[in-house]
A and B are shown apart, each in its own frame.
Chain A
Amino acid sequence: MSEENSPAQRVAIGISFGNSYSSIGFTSAEGKAEVIANEEGDRQIPSILSYVDGEEFQGTQAKAQLVRNAKNTVAYFRDFLGQEFKSIDPTPCHQSAHPVQHESTIAFKIKDGADETENTVTVSEITTRHLRRLKNSASDYLGKDVNAAVITVPTNFGDTQKEALTKAAKEAGIEVLQFINEPVAAVLAYDARPEAKLSDKIVVVADLGGIRSDVAVIASRGGIYTILATAHDYDVAGTQLDKVLMDHFAKEFMKKHKTGGDPRENDRSLAKLKLESEAVKKALSIGASANFSVESLANGIDYTATINRSRYELLASKHFQAFTRLVTHAVEKAELDPLDISEIILAGGSAHTPRIASSLQSAFPETTTVLAPSTSPTALNPSELAVRGAAIQASLVQEFDVEDIVQSTHPMVTVTPHLSHAVGVLCISDSEESGVFQSIVDAETPLPVRRTAIISTPREGGDVLIKLTEGARHIKVTKPEPKPKAEKTKSDSDDEDSDEDSEEEEEIREKTWKVGKVLAEAALKELKKGAKVEVQINIDANLNVNCIFREVGGKGGVRGLLAGGKGQNGSA
């Protein structure tokens, strides 16, 4: 098995390893992340292994075996790694090899050899075999033996799970350089585009997968990412959307063929129904309608049908609402308001669904950009975000010694003080007598930080006051003039009524600032007409603030130092 490779011998790729699909990617010499298609031409490779007469199949070929050879087909196993049997939910494996307890771990009983004996294969071994196939596909494509990887994991993947995955990867000849969180990989994939501009923003990543949905609220500050809150849902994901279509087609089938029976009651019929329903679901992400067609669906009866997108959206609307709720719940958990969210990145396969993106867009203000194929022409493929991020990170760290990577990811380096309030200046606006706060460094920015602002001055120039303060974000709610009500008998009217009401007189919500603590004042004198002022703020990890105020293009300027509380008592 591979020992640690010295950076010079390393060939590193990015891997996203989901319960449903896996992807492999690399960063080209030009610095562009690319997703690799395997021998079958797939970029989303089903995380499935199947054994037929001792031959191993993986990916799409293995998935097809779910119909005839379900017992020897292993699927949905990633989340079992490093877990105890009693803590897992085996439900996703109902139509494939069942997980069983084996010593302190989890295994599958499958006939994976040429003979007919049933072997107990641990989840670790299954993972190794799957990763080995991924590694080989990448090696074939690159023409070099891949021996290292950055692998994405969910934000709640624990240390024992990571250890188990590290071990399984090592057995496959892959040295794990680093695990990175899936949502962070998605943000990195977007930020690494050549046209991307660094900015300070709050990003929500909604990763809607096959058997789980995960949301993360991330403060992105000058390209540094801090997760503020996460939310997980194992009850609503792609599988439930498949189920909606399976139920629909099963019922339609029974209506049409009274003697056909319920295709959901026979394992093989059920498997066919599921595969085709997933394909129909994917087709409905692009087309306005899709065809369902299965030979011998049940009792030897072939079945074809058509469904249009609006019908599907109606049938699945409950689930779409659940996705939106999961996202708004995560924002609440971060103690933020929808108005604070600059972007929602839709990630994961289910994020291709147009209705999920549009529901989210309507639940958030117009100032929130929803990055999904159906809402934004510049959106990246949601199924590729994690692997792209992993590929970029792999290229960033592949030259480091493992020891260096470990040190850099240690809490000594990663635990960082973050500003609790925004820092900015007071400016004049026509609407208010007192100054209005203009943020220069946002709250939740990790320290140290340096930010610069260019600020206008009064038209005639002259002497100006720069008042540096903290600011607190405030949501201003304006209620429209109450309309006189013709009749109002019950105050607690039923839901439908109150819904209509709220639409009539929708309140206006705006993001404003409350001026907080005053930090410092500075004067800049004899500015030219139409001059601009540059304010540079440096804040170190001890909250010492170093600022420079000067006229843009002018000479001199004013400097000031504000000692932070920590620096005063803490210094030796």
Chain B
Amino acid sequence: MASVQISLPLPVLPEGWSAEKDFKAIGQLSQATDRNIEPVGPHFLAHARRKRHKRTFSEDDR
């Protein structure tokens, strides 16, 4: 997938903001919905391979 291009600028860091290693975890993702993906096409096959071999995207890249 090509990267998403966002042309609006990021905000300036507010005065006094601080966090360990500059990262602050705040919330969790909402519950996901289980759906059936179609077992069709090259990208599905890559998905199935990763799932069956329990591999991640970066392991897959290598």
Contact = CB atoms under 8 A, between A and B. Distances in A.
A141 to B, nearest CB: 25
B4 A452 contact: yes
A225 B32 contact: no
A275 interface: no
A181 B5 CA distance: 33
Contacts of A457: 9-10
B41 to A, nearest CB: 5
Contacts of A178: 39
A543 B28 contact: yes
B26 to A, nearest CB: 5
B9 A458 contact: yes
B48 A524 contact: no
A438 B22 contact: no
A277 to B, nearest CB: 36
B26 A519 contact: yes
Contact of A517 (B5, B27, B51): B27
B28 A564 contact: yes
Contacts of B19: 521-523
B26 A521 contact: yes
Interface range, B side: 35 or more
B34 A523 contact: no
A452 B3 CA distance: 5
A301 B61 CA distance: 72
A223 B10 contact: no
Contact of A198 (B1, B13, B21, B33): B1
B41 A423 contact: no
Given A396-B45, A448-B56, A559 B23 contact: yes
A66 B6 CA distance: 60
A418 B34 CA distance: 6
Contact of B22 (A198, A439, A524, A538): A524
A456 interface: yes
A396 B48 CA distance: 13
A518 B48 CA distance: 32
B23 A522 contact: yes
Interface residues of A, number: 94
Contact of A522 (B22, B33, B45): B22
A470 B21 CA distance: 23
A354 interface: no
B16 to A, nearest CB: 11
A228 B38 CA distance: 11
A438 B9 CA distance: 11
A539 B51 CA distance: 14
A562 B25 contact: yes
Given A407-B52, A419-B32, A564-B28, A446 B17 contact: no
A226 B35 contact: yes
B40 A393 contact: yes
B32 A447 contact: yes
A92 interface: no
A421 B33 CA distance: 10
A467 B11 CA distance: 9
A564 B29 contact: yes
A464 interface: yes
A466 B3 CA distance: 17
A470 B30 contact: yes
Interface string A532-565: 0110001110010100000000000011111111
Contact of A426 (B11, B17, B45): B11
Contacts of B29: 419, 421, 423, 470, 517, 519, 539, 543, 545, 562, 564-565
Interface string A391-428: 01100100000000001110101111111110101111
A545 B32 CA distance: 13
Contacts of A228: 35
Contacts of A519: 25-29
A185 B40 CA distance: 8
A446 B22 contact: no
A524 B22 CA distance: 7
A235 interface: no
Nearest to A537: B4
A519 B30 CA distance: 10
B10 A464 contact: yes
A342 to B, nearest CB: 14
Contact of A565 (B14, B28, B45): B28
Given A419-B29, A470-B29, A184 B38 contact: yes
Nearest to B47: A224
Interface string A450-471: 1111111111001111110010
Q: Which of B10, B22, B34, B37 has the most CB of A within 10 A?
A: B10
A392 B40 CA distance: 9
Interface string B36-62: 111111111101101110001100000
B24 A521 contact: yes
A465 B33 CA distance: 30
A436 B10 CA distance: 10
B10 A458 contact: yes
Contact of A429 (B2, B8, B52): B8
B39 A418 contact: no
Interface of B: 1-14, 17, 19, 21-45, 47-48, 50-52, 56-57
15 contacts: A180-B40, A198-B2, A392-B41, A396-B41, A414-B38, A420-B31, A421-B30, A455-B6, A456-B8, A517-B27, A519-B27, A521-B24, A522-B22, A523-B19, A564-B28
Given A446-B35, A455-B8, A456-B6, 5 more contacts: A419-B32, A438-B6, A454-B4, A519-B25, A558-B21
8 nearest A-B residue pairs (beta carbon): A223-B43, A417-B32, A560-B23, A427-B8, A463-B13, A453-B4, A409-B39, A464-B10
